[in-house]
Structure 1
Amino acid sequence: MPKCKVMSSPYIPLGVLYLVQGFPYGLQSGLFPVLLRTQGLSLSHIGLTRVLYLPWLLKVLWSPLVDGLWSRRTWLMLSTGGLCLCCLLCSLLPPGTAFRSLAWLLLFMHILASMQDVALDAVSVAVLTQEQVGLGNSLQVVAYKLGSVLAGGGALALLDLLGWRMVFLLLAVGYLLAVLCVWWAKAFKGEESSHRGNSKGTLRRPSLGDVVWRVLQVPGTVWTIVYVLIYKLGEQGSLSMVPLLLLDQGVSPAELGVWNGILSLTVSIAGSALGGMLLGKGRSLQPFLRALLTLRVFGLVFQTMLLSALGRDTSIVKVCLLLTLVLQNFLAGVITTVTFTLMMHCTRQADKGIQATHYSLLSSLEVLGKVCFSAVSGLLVDSLGVSTSFCLFIILSFLPLLHLQKLPPILS
């Protein structure tokens, strides 16, 4: 009886699935860049490995399949099971293997995780009530970042202790438990019945062009698209480069795993939880978001000043820079929760038949805004220098503040 009550709640299965969905991002952003830097790769080359995030940008192309083919529960089981298999294959690779083999497996993991994300976001929109949306989005961001911590900083810190094979076997076990969670979740079974009922009434499957046109007609969509493309530009440039610059100054991979992996993402999770709590108390989105974005700009200015002094007093400056990473991640956690809540409010304005596609488009563009700039941030630092590049990051951080002045009333 207790198990039935737990699995009838949408929060537990949603939390578990968003947790394991964060594993590929943690591997890509936390584990592999440090390993590649220790092998002598340039910042430009490491930044360009972000092209592996491409499936997250293309997921809107297959989101109509999730809306119209099979049930979302089936998509969740297939994609999560495939991710489990990928981790098993990674565990069979010898330590120190060429990055090319890992890159292909990681690319396939991103494809499967993006498919899982389309189905999971659609399930979240369907099963969460209006009163549950704030807590549900907080849970989504917290669980996803916790998964990133476990697969990124956690794996980096435990790699020497447990070994390559055991780390990936543990990740595979996590995916296996998630598959079982989908199978048992009563909340997902109810959504599956509703989805089938809606599908039976569909006589003709619309073309992709028709679906995209309908998505763009949803009130507030165009404004939200611009916002999610720009709101993390400066932040991503900073967060992707500062850990590698500290690595060049003698900070060990294990220290980065603790500070930039475990500690920073832990406070990011705390920030995401705090954002959900404050939104749940009826706080207005616009002034809350404006204050957060302003604080982020000031933090980035202070971080840029520290970087200009990095070569003079390394010991003190390094500690301060590590602390700024913690602060940045905390603010990023709050801002991300508010942003995803805003995105879900926008999606709820759409017809149920296109909600998966609508939310997938917004989340794909949110990834695009992060990935594209972080992919070239290493090239900017290598070509322009640290100070000039970080001044550019500061300027870009003002863009979402200006755009926020035109927030549509329907989203506030």
Structure 2
Amino acid sequence: MRGKLLPLASLYLVQGLPYGLQSGLLPTLLRARGLSLTRVGLAKVLYAPWLFKLVWAPLVDARGSARAWLTRSTVALGLVCGLLAALPPAEAGQAGLPVAAALLLLLNLGAAVQDVALDTLAVQLLEPAELGPGNTVQVVAYKLGAALAGGGLLALLPTLSWPRLFLLLATTYWLAAALAWTAPALRQPPRPRHSEHPHYTLHLLQDVLAVPGTPWTAGFVLTYKLGEQGASSLFPLVLLDHGASARELGLWNGVGAVACSIAGSSLAGALLARRWQLLPLLRSVLRLRLGGLVCQTALLFHLDTPGASLGPSTVLRGAALLSLCLQHFLGGLVTTATFTVMMRCSQLAPSALQATHYSLLATLELLGKLLLGALAGALADSLGLRPCFSLLLALSALPLLCLSLAPSSLA
């Protein structure tokens, strides 16, 4: 198993680089080059290829192997980074911005294809007993890669110019492509591929939904993060309004949150590796998460009373900041267990459908997280904090009800 997990960990770490690059590093670089806040904000449009993974997932299923797609997309990412290194914004001027934007769009396209190919390869490689450790590697390595690109490279900015930055990324991608193509453990997926290739028709979607457990899994991954995501978006802002400093929140909800999330994901993988049953484990961690949200909501209700504030060095202040870390720890547990369910479900699909199947589940999982993250502020403004957090608690209880309907094929 170690022979599979080590190369997968390296590739998932590289897969996390584009997200960290564009969420943390790139806005700072562009703003430092004199771009307006509007243009920096419009850079988020470049994420668009990630919303269309289902368009090329059937191609990964139909033409060539997942390992070949992974290698080609990673090489292409290195080439795009090389082109970006040759086009520093400070030298390109305003006329060069469309070219830089087009290259960044290509970077996202390559990263989205790489994501489909790597997830498909993991689905084909991992045995049922390896899914827990495998998904721990997926979640933890991806988060480390994002933190490295978004924070680590940002710290090197005073000494790392734009060309050197992208040349470093290009070299990293080419080394990862060599690993993907040469690693012996990645050459022999255990399941043979079907000779029939899927096509872009309604029948393809019907075939995907006909895989045992798919309708339930799709509904679960769409809803399991609704309450947690809404609360994690709002609670730090409530603390800021009641006296917590931006520096404190950056530490506890930034560095502390990432560390606790990785710890939670690692613990979930360790428990699954010790033969804990997947669905009972998921039920237990969902209950713990609900309990943590109840405590966090109680803190919010107290803070929402007139005159309440987070005084310096108070027990309330410490409890509020620690609750942020606790929720990220429990969120890491839940995420790893849920991704294991997703991969187990995709392994039930014919190998010629596995890329499309897993991409559908991953897209729904992302959509569910984005939905409440984007709407939480509007709900709080329209309903008020107390009704809003009460609704988020109810949404957090919904996955527990869904688990009672889980099909036996996923047990």
1:40 deviation in Å?
A: 12
Change (3 A) 1:268 1:405: same
1:216 deviation in Å?
A: 0.8
Deviation per residue, 1:72-93 (Å, 9 max, x gap): 2232123223444555638934
Q: How much is the aligned-residue C-alpha RMSD, in angstroms?
A: 3.9
Structure 2 CA distance, aligned partners of 1:168 and 1:384? 46
1:281 aligns with 2:278: no
1:32 deviation in Å?
A: 7.5
Deviation per residue, 1:48-80 (Å, 9 max, x gap): 997765533421221110111233223212322
Structure 1 CA distance, aligned partners of 2:266 and 2:68? 30
TM-score (norm 1): 0.80
CA contact (8 A) 1:294 1:401 kept: yes
1:229 deviation in Å?
A: 0.3
Deviation per residue, 1:248-295 (Å, 9 max, x gap): 656346x55543333321221121111111112221223322221122
Counterpart residue number, 1:408: 407
Identity of aligned residues (%): 47
Structure 2 CA distance, aligned partners of 1:279 and 1:40? 48
Q: 2:145 aligns with which of 140, 144, 147?
A: 147
Structure 2 CA distance, aligned partners of 1:155 and 1:198? 40
Counterpart residue number, 1:320: 319
Structure 1 CA distance, aligned partners of 2:36 and 2:286? 35
CA contact (8 A) 1:216 1:222 kept: yes
Change (3 A) 1:150 1:344: same
Counterpart residue number, 2:329: 330
CA contact (8 A) 2:124 2:347 kept: no
Q: Larger Rg: 1 or 2?
A: 2
Change (3 A) 1:161 1:244: farther
Q: 1:180 aligns with which of 174, 178, 181?
A: 178
Counterpart residue number, 2:342: 343
Counterpart residue number, 1:59: 53
Counterpart residue number, 2:121: 123
Structure 2 CA distance, aligned partners of 1:72 and 1:17? 13
Unaligned runs of 5+ in 1: none
TM-score (norm 2): 0.81
1:137 aligns with 2:167: no
Q: 1:16 aligns with which of 10, 14, 39?
A: 10
Deviation per residue, 1:214-256 (Å, 9 max, x gap): 1111111111010000000111122233445556656346x55
Counterpart residue number, 1:367: 366
Amino acid across the alignment from 1:81: V
Structure 2 CA distance, aligned partners of 1:382 and 1:327? 26
1:209 aligns with 2:176: no
Deviation per residue, 1:11-65 (Å, 9 max, x gap): 22211111122223335666689999xx9989xx98x997765533421221110
Deviating more after overlay: 114-123 vs 242-251: 242-251
Amino acid across the alignment from 2:253: N
Structure 2 CA distance, aligned partners of 1:132 and 1:222? 24
Change (3 A) 1:208 1:162: farther
Change (3 A) 1:353 1:205: closer
Change (3 A) 1:173 1:280: same
Counterpart residue number, 1:355: 354
Structure 2 CA distance, aligned partners of 1:103 and 1:390? 39
Deviation per residue, 1:319-359 (Å, 9 max, x gap): 43332221111111111111111112211211111111111
Mapping of 1:67-82 within 5 angstroms? Answer: 67-82=61-76
Q: 1:251 aligns with which of 245, 252, 255?
A: 245
SS at match of 1:190: coil
Counterpart residue number, 2:88: 92
Mapping of 1:179-198 within 5 angstroms? Answer: 179-191=177-189, 198=193
Mapping of 1:42-57 within 5 angstroms? Answer: 54-57=48-51
Structure 2 CA distance, aligned partners of 1:49 and 1:391? 35
Amino acid across the alignment from 1:92: P
Q: 2:215 aligns with which of 222, 237, 244?
A: 222
Q: 2:20 aligns with which of 17, 22, 26?
A: 26
Change (3 A) 1:321 1:134: same
Change (3 A) 1:67 1:347: same
Deviating more after overlay: 130-139 vs 312-321: 312-321
